[in-house]
């Protein structure tokens, strides 16, 4: 009987200790879980803050001078950046989602349509949007009103054309591509009638006059844009860009 009683007392003693410790164990576990949760929720921002500031950009024949000016402007205010190439329409969506810190250059009116994006209020270039066709084609604004015409555009550009020329008047079919080289290849293969191409001063290099007809459709100002969490750097970055543009104009 004593042995059984001893085991019963031992078991009861163990149960008592376990129950008394359980609240402390739960408290420690909850604290650890909370700390892990907080750390994981900030890990993306911490990696970008401690590493290079990531700037998305898209490939374009005239993009390198813009990259150099923007990189130098950031360096002037003590921020090192790295570039990440993306398809034309993706970079600005990544920025709005907080997946990158900035986007190199965007049409000013487009930047206004994204809620988490803030503009650096300095015009980098005035982009001229040209309709490009082969030399002997009828390459003018009448093409926009021809329901049989097919024109390649970058993401967002179809709406831009319709804003400038009237949504109800524009009848051409638009084929969206994500690389300027794709648009040029489709034109060269005669699979489309024309393409829309933004340029500031390098049009002759990409589409020489001896081969292509070019018609200016409209102009748009372009700016650098950042995620809203970086809005505090905008005044200093704006000043740095103005100083750089004063000595090395992009157009």
Cβ neighbour number for residue 226 with a 10 Å cutoff: 22
Residue 160 resides in a domain: yes
Q: Give the chain's domain count.
A: 1
For the CA atoms of 240, 246, 248, 249, what is the dihedral angle to 10 degrees?
110
Instruction: Report the CATH number that the domain containing residue 195 is assigned in CATH.
Output: 3.40.190.10
Query: Quick one: which of 101, 96, 133 has its CA closest to 112?
Result: 96
**Residue 86 falls inside a structural domain:** no
Quick one: CA dihedral 91, 178, 125, 159, positive or negative? negative
* 60 within some domain: no
Q: pTM for the full model? A: 0.77
Residue 213's domain spans which residues? 126-221
Q: Is residue 231 part of a domain?
A: no
165-183 pLDDT, tens digit per residue, is 999 999 999 999 999 999 9
In a domain, 234, yes or no: no
In a domain, 249, yes or no: no
pLDDT tens string 87-141: 999 999 999 999 999 999 999 999 999 999 999 999 999 999 999 999 888 899 9
């Amino acid at each position: 009987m004593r042995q059984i009683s001893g085991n019963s007392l031992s078991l009861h003693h163990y149960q008592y200790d376990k129950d008394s410790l359980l609240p402390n164990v739960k408290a420690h576990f909850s604290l650890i879980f909370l700390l892990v949760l907080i750390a994981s929720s900030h890990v993306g921002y911490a990696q970008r803050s401690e590493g290079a500031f990531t700037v998305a950009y898209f490939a374009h024949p005239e993009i390198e001078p813009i990259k150099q000016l923007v990189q130098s402007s950031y360096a002037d205010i003590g921020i090192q950046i790295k570039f990440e190439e993306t398809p034309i329409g993706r970079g600005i969506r990544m920025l709005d989602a907080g997946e990158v810190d900035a986007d190199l250059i965007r049409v000013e009116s487009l930047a206004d349509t994204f809620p988490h994006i803030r503009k650096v209020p300095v015009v980098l270039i005035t982009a001229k949007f040209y309709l490009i066709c082969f030399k002997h084609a009828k390459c003018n604004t009448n093409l926009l009103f021809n329901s049989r015409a097919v024109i390649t555009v970058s993401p967002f550009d179809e709406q831009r054309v319709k804003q400038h020329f009237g949504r109800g008047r524009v009848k051409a079919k638009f084929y969206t591509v994500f690389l300027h080289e794709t648009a040029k290849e489709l034109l060269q293969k005669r699979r489309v009638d024309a393409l829309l191409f933004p340029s500031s001063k390098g049009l002759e290099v990409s589409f020489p006059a001896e081969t292509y007809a070019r018609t200016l459709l409209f102009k748009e100002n372009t700016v650098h844009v950042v995620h809203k969490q970086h809005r505090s750097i905008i005044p200093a970055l704006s000043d740095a860009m103005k100083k750089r543009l004063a000595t090395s104009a992009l157009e």
